[in-house]
Structure 1
Amino acid sequence: MDGAILKQRPAPQVIRCFAPSRLADDLLAEVYERLLKTGTHGFGVPTGCMEPAAQEHFLDQEQSVATGGRR
């Protein structure tokens, strides 16, 4: 993950807390990004298997992360 993406989508604070080095931060941010893409972040099931309300909430979270907290 390059620096431009990390500036647009910083890793959550909990990841930064446990990743003091830049390399660890980059690696954990990549894992977080993959979790978002697979749809298993926070719910444990693929996005397509969720109830509509849960899926809408998940997509709001993903958009918020992708835009740095803005909708």
Structure 2
Amino acid sequence: MIEIALNCAAVISLYCAISWCLKHKTQSDIDEASLIPFADDPEVARRVERATGKKINAVQMSEPQSRKPDRYTLEL
């Protein structure tokens, strides 16, 4: 019986803690946070935008261009 009461108290405490953390968040904040995992891949971001209709601020990661070092250039 005590185990059931402790389990119920744990679930209620978890619910209250999550509710308190999300109390000051707007719906747009929550939507933006849910789309963060797709922001680093532009193609996936476009597919998710088409599927959900929500705008994703995708960041395109460009690879650094490898440059042949000049003979007279000193890199520190």
Interval of TM-score (by shorter of Structure 1 and Structure 2): under 0.3
Higher relative contact order by CA 8 Å / sep ≥ 6: 1 or 2?
A: 1
**TM-score normalised over the length of structure 1:** 0.27
Higher share in helix: 1
If the length of structure 2 is used for normalisation, what is the TM-score? Answer: 0.26
